[in-house]
């Protein structure tokens, strides 16, 4: 077959036959798109057959006269050559190509074949033949400059050149061989354009655009000439329009790819030459080419792409890449002159140019510039041409979007009246764009600025609502919603008038619209349900803006209106449904009494939607016909760009698919809103009666593994733990004992886990969905076991309708000796042993399967590297990174069992995960990523395991020390290991003493291995120095310990420093109080005088503070520093006022840092200042205080009073009134 096809391709008498045979040969034997090209398989051809076919191919390619056949033959040469040349299996190919190009008997046909071969072999040439670039350059230059070669041959030479330039990396030294070609290529292009050969000019300019995009420095030697030449082409009226567009595109592409080179042209010549040409292109507007302009009312519908619209986009691109400092001083005077021009096309260009400049201009705070810009726009607000007025409104829209809130703050006195004038414009398109401009202005304004104008805005908007087009009406309602969100209490004065109007629109807008129309027919595209939905949004936001004090008496009526709208929503494609649901959910969140009224109305509807499945309901012929009529009406009015699109010929099938898709969207939204309602009703317990049914719906959704349900499952997983929270809060509010609360939550948690755990093991599951399911498992366990009866902090959370922070949980036994290091909660082990075993076993299987997927992906990349381009490799690496992130979440399920169930949890881990940890994750030769996962589990067992965790110190600490030592290979592993050593020291106290020295040695080696300038503490030190903080020398890097850590070591150093502090503070040199609590009087006495070695370590540690990157560790380190200062520890206090002042400044730094300051830390800072004052005496402390920078004294002064203000009110636990679980059924 191959021989027959090749024979016909090379010797067939008819050109069509040759072309067809060549195409079939390529399709079956050489094309990359083929699944298994037979040419490259061992069983496809023998060497002798390959040789004969290649010889025939080369002979035919050199003499083929039909262009289409010759191009196909050259393509086959390229296909075969790319594979065979790399493996040295076609040595005669490149000499033959050179002979076609350079031999004395070379003909235009052979040169064309040779140049095509160069184009198709570009990848091989750029990879292996860079030394031959000078030869290629001479050959291509000779052809381009030739006066005898036909134009197609010269264009093929340009293709070959541009292919090499586009493929080669920018800055490649070999490209210097082509430096002289830029001038030749530019001159050749200019010659072709001048000769009027538009097809050839079009292709050449597209090639030049590709080079400008990929290899802009190629044009550097002739930049001025190239830019001038292209702009001359773009500004020549006799040149075809598409050629002028491409010439302008070349210049703009060059600016985007090499803005530095463009800026280097003297006297800002690049900008001063380019912008006038762009402006001239923008005025080439032909109204006759777009006769439907007046009929298109919708803002979203884009006008046809024209020379003027493309040129307007060029303004944005040029301002963005060259920069406003060089472009705007040239652009603004041009646009100002154009805005006053007698020809409306220039005024239109001025407004479009201002809009484009706003999009390309970085946000500005220059009030003068903004006022000047608004002044230019205001000149055209009353223009006689509606296109200019639309463009003026668009310019306002764009400037408000990109330059808020400065533009509102500086120009509202002129901008708002301009928008008002545009709203009163009689033209529908002007009104629509003005509504969008107003909406953009209102959304991003400050309440204090927009509130005084609220009444006037509402008056204009309501007038337009009654009589405007469909789009204007919708934008008006969106604007009212945005106004309510921005003006807040500024809506109080207009609330009495606006409320009944919005209620009318939300219930039935058509009578009001019909009355306003005064007998004129309403637009067929007007969708009353869409209007009602937007009115529901505006109504709920208006109520939320004025608050309960204003609308309390109207709340029942508002809820009735919204409830009626929700009840009347008919189908999944009904636009009213989502808006009504969202509005009711907002009312439940914003009003204390709203949840109890909303939940009976909304929750049943949401649960019904959440229980829908993918199984399509039968769509009636009447529904399908109604769907078709709506589509046709929208198409007739131009209201929907996709109105004519139908997936199937059968309307019932198309609409049925829409119903199924919409039902999944409704289902996903239902779970999102139910989650919001659980939070809104947490303090009232209003959702409690619905928890059992909701749990059944959620469980069904979690079990639905079909692909379209992915987002539904993710949202259901988030809701699952919130429903457990609702059950627990209901039991706590009913006065249940701790045991009764967890007995209430045990059954729903076990049922949810029975669905969630199998789902984690599904094949083909998206890693992000797997993470969501794992999070649901974790939070269900936390919410189900938290003691909300006797734990004060948890009771406060119940009273405030909040939940505790799961990441901060800790069993109560860790509240001593240093409870400030955790926001501890009392947790009650409540799950049966078989459930714990199932959680651990599932986590092990899921992690093992995930690791197998990663290994398979990496092997695939190694074995098929030649099949992956750079983008595909990046995608593959991203998939691997996502999968590895998921492993961390999955392994945390094992840790959750240890954290929550202590001895029973650790026993389950030993039974179900011990072999996996030892044989898989910690086996000799295991990857650093695998060891990191094992260390995560060890950290939690040591930190939360109590005596069972401490008993594992002998086997765990060596693994952690190895992890710290591996910092040069894996920062993440070392960070986890360093944290584990600190957690073990804190939990074990004096029992950690046998491991303290080795741990400190490893941690200090790691910390000192990072050069001071590379560490985050060094940056903090520089900032502190700028504030006038006295410097304290940081230990220099020992010789031979330069940092070799890949990536950023900041979090690693933070964790290592905090671990050092914990080992010294809790084990090596505990303070007297802590020592007395943990080890008796003898240890307390020893603690009063730390060893010289410990003192030196404490001094060096304190000098490396503050911690700036890991804020949780910063909180811990600062707390320890405060305790040391309060006790007068000499190693931390120092011997000079400057040293003590620096330590206090570090404390102040932490108090001013978000997520670091806590009520406990404030009290600790106050105790540190008080303790130092008592121990040093008033005079010495005054010297220390004087050395503290003035800007850092405030937080220290107010620490004590601030602590009392921030501390939560912890109610006294009431005696439980019932010991049996709460029945939710």
Task: Return the sign of the alpha-carbon dihedral for residues 513, 514, 515, 519.
Answer: positive
992, HSE (Cβ side, Cα atoms, 13 Å)? 34
Residue 44 is predicted with a pLDDT of: 55
pLDDT of residue 330: 94
How do residues 67-126 score in pLDDT, each as one tens digit?
Answer: 889 999 998 888 888 878 877 788 889 999 998 988 766 788 998 999 999 998 988 888
* Integer Cα distance of 163 and 180 in angstroms: 17
Q: Where are the domains of the chain?
A: 1008-1052+1063-1225
Cβ contacts of 175 within 8 Å, gap of 6 or more: 133, 165, 168, 215, 218
Question: What is the rounded CA–CA span in Å between residue 788 and residue 776?
Answer: 20
pLDDT tens, position by position, 1040-1062: 333 334 444 778 888 999 999 99
Residue 882's SS3 state is helix
Whole-number Å distance between alpha carbons of 634 and 28:
47
pLDDT band at 273 (very low <50, low <70, confident <90, very high): very high
- Token pair 């986009």 in the structure block, residue: 313
User: What per-residue confidence (pLDDT) applies to 1057?
Assistant: 92
pLDDT at 24: 87
CA dist 20 and 353 (Å) reads: 51
Buried b (16+ CB within 10 A) or exposed e, 841-855: bbbbbbbebbbebbe
What integer best gives the mean pLDDT of the chain?
80
Are the C-beta atoms of residues 584 and 562 closer than 8 Å to each other?
yes
pLDDT at 1047: 41
Residues 1099, 1104, 1106: CA angle, nearest 5 degrees? 120
Query: How many residues in the chain?
Result: 1225
Residue 1024 confidence (pLDDT) above 50:
no
Mean pLDDT for the stretch of residues 936-946: 90
Q: Mean pLDDT across the stretch 1197-1220? A: 59
Average pLDDT over residues 446-461: 76
- 405 preceded by a cis bond (ω within 30 of 0): yes
786 DSSP β-pair partners:
827
Residue percentage of the chain with pLDDT more than 70: 80
Reported confidence tier of residue 156, pLDDT bands at 50, 70, 90: very high
Res 1181 pLDDT > 50: yes
Mean pLDDT confidence for 153-162:
93
């Amino acid at each position: 077959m191959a021989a027959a096809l090749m024979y016909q391709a090379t010797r067939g008498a008819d050109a069509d036959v040759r072309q067809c045979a060549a195409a079939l040969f390529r399709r079956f034997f050489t094309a990359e798109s083929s699944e298994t090209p037979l040419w490259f398989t061992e069983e496809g051809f023998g060497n002798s057959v390959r040789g004969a076919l290649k010889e025939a191919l080369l002979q035919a390619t050199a003499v083929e006269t039909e262009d289409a056949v010759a191009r196909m033959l050259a393509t086959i040469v390229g296909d075969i050559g790319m594979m065979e040349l790399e493996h040295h299996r076609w040595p005669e190919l490149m000499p033959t190509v050179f002979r076609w190009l350079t031999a004395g008997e070379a003909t235009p046909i052979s040169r064309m074949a040779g140049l095509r071969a160069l184009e198709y072999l570009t990848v091989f040439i750029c990879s292996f033949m860079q030394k031959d670039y000078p030869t290629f350059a001479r050959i291509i230059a000779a052809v381009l400059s030739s006066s005898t070669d036909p134009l197609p041959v010269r264009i093929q030479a340009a293709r070959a050149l541009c292919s090499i330039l586009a493929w080669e990396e920018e800055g490649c030294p070999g490209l210097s061989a082509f430096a002289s070609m830029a001038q030749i290529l530019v001159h050749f292009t200019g010659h072709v354009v001048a000769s009027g050969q538009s097809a050839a000019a079009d292709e050449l300019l597209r090639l030049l655009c590709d080079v400008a995009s990929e290899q802009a420095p190629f044009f550097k030697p002739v930049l001025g000439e190239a830019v001038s030449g292209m702009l001359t082409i773009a500004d020549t009226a006799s040149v075809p329009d598409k050629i002028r567009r491409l010439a302008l595109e070349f210049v703009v592409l060059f600016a985007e790819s090499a803005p530095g080179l463009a800026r280097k042209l003297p006297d800002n010549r690049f900008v001063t030459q380019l912008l006038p040409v762009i402006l001239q292109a923008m005025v080439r507007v032909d109204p006759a080419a777009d006769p439907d302009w007046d009929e298109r009312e919708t803002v979203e519908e884009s006008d046809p792409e024209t020379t003027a619209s493309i040129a307007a986009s060029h303004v944005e691109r040029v301002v963005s890449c060259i920069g406003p400092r060089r472009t705007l001083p040239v652009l603004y005077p041009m646009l100002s002159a154009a805005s006053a021009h007698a020809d409306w096309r220039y005024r239109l260009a001025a407004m479009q140019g201002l809009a484009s400049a706003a999009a390309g201009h970085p946000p500005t705070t220059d009030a003068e510039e903004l006022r000047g810009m608004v002044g230019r726009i205001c000149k055209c607000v009353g223009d006689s041409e509606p296109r200019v007025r639309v463009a003026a409104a668009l310019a306002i829209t764009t400037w408000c979007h990109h330059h808020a809130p400065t533009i509102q703050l500086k120009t509202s006195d002129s901008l708002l009246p301009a928008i008002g004038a545009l709203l009163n414009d009689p033209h529908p398109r002007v009104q629509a764009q003005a509504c969008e401009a107003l909406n953009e202005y209102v959304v991003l304004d400050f309440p204090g600025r927009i509130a005084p104008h609220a009444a006037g805005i509402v008056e204009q908007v309501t007038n337009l609502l009654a009589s405007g087009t469909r789009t204007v009406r919708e934008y008006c309602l969106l604007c009212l919603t945005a106004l309510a969100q921005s003006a807040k209490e500024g809506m109080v004065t207009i609330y009495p008038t606006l409320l009944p109007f919005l209620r009318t629109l939300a219930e039935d807008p058509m009578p009001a619209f019909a009355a306003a129309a005064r007998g004129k027919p309403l637009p067929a595209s007007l969708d009353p349900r869409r209007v009602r939905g937007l009115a529901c949004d505006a109504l709920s936001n208006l109520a939320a803006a004025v608050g309960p004090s204003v609308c309390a008496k109207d709340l029942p009526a508002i809820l009735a209106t919204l409830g009626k709208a929700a009840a009347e929503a008919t189908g999944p494609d009904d636009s009213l449904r989502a808006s009504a649901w969202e509005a009711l959910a907002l009312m439940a969140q914003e009003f204390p009494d709203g949840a109890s009224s909303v939940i009976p109305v909304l929750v049943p509807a949401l649960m019904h939607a959440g229980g829908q499945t993918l199984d399509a309901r039968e769509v009636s012929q009447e529904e399908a016909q109604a769907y078709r009529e709506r589509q046709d009406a929208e198409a007739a009015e131009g209201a929907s760009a996709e109105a004519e699109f139908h997936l199937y010929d059968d309307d019932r099938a198309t609409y049925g698919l829409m119903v199924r898709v919409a039902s999944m969207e409704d289902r996903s939204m239902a779970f999102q809103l139910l989650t919001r309602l659980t939070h809104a009703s947490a303090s009232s317990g209003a959702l409690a009666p619905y928890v059992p049914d909701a749990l059944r719906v959620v469980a069904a959704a979690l079990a639905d593994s079909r692909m379209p349900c992915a987002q539904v499952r993710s949202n259901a997983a988030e809701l699952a733990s919130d429903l457990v929270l609702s059950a627990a809060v209901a039991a706590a509010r009913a006065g249940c004992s701790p045991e009764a609360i967890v007995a209430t939550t045990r059954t729903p948690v076990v049922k949810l886990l029975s669905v969630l755990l199998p789902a984690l093991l599904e094949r083909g599951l998206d890693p992000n969905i797997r993470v969501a399911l794992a999070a649901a498992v974790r939070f269900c366990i936390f919410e189900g076991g938290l003691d909300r009866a006797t734990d004060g902090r948890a009771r406060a959370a119940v009273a405030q309708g909040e939940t505790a922070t799961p990441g901060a949980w800790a069993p109560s036994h860790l509240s001593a000796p240093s409870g400030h290091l955790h926001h501890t909660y009392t947790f009650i082990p409540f799950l049966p042993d078989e459930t714990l075993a199932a959680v651990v076993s599932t986590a092990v299987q899921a992690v093992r399967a995930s690791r197998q997927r990663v290994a398979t992906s990496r092997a695939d990349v190694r074995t098929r590297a030649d099949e992956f381009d750079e983008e595909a490799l990046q995608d593959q690496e991203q998939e691997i990174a996502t999968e590895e992130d998921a492993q961390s979440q999955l392994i945390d399920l094992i840790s959750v069992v240890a954290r929550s169930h202590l001895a029973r949890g650790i026993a389950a881990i030993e039974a179900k995960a011990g072999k996996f940890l030892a044989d898989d994750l910690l086996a000799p030769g295991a990857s650093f990523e695998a060891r990191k996962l094992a260390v995560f589990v060890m950290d939690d067992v040591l930190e939360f395991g109590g005596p069972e965790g401490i008993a594992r110190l002998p086997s765990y600490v060596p693994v952690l020390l190895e992890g710290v030592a591996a910092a040069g290979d894996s920062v993440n592993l070392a960070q986890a290991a360093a944290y584990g050593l600190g957690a073990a020291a804190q939990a074990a106290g004096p029992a950690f003493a046998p491991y303290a020295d080795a741990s400190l040695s490893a941690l200090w080696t790691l910390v000192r291995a990072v050069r001071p300038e590379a560490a985050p503490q060094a940056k903090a030190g520089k900032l502190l120095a700028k504030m006038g903080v006295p410097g304290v020398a940081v230990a220099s890097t020992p010789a031979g310990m330069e940092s070799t850590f890949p990536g950023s070591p900041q979090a690693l150093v933070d964790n290592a420093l905090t671990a050092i502090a914990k080992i010294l503070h809790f084990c090596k040199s505990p303070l007297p109080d802590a020592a007395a609590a943990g080890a008796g009087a003898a240890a307390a006495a020893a603690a009063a005088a730390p060893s010289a070695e410990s003192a030196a370590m404490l001094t060096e540690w304190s000098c490396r503070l503050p911690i700036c990157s890991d804020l949780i560790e910063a909180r811990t380190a600062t707390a320890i520093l405060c305790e040391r200062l309060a006790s007068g520890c000499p190693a931390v206090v120092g011997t000079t006022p400057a040293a003590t002042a620096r330590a206090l400044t570090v404390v102040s730094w932490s108090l001013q840092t978000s997520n670091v300051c806590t009520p406990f830390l404030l009290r600790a800072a106050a105790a540190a200042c008080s303790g130092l004052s008592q121990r040093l005496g008033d005079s010495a402390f005054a010297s220390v205080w004087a050395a503290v920078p003035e800007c850092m004294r405030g937080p220290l002064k107010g620490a004590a009073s601030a602590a009392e203000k921030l501390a939560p009110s912890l109610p006294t636990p009431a005696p439980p009134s019932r010991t049996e679980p709460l029945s939710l059924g």
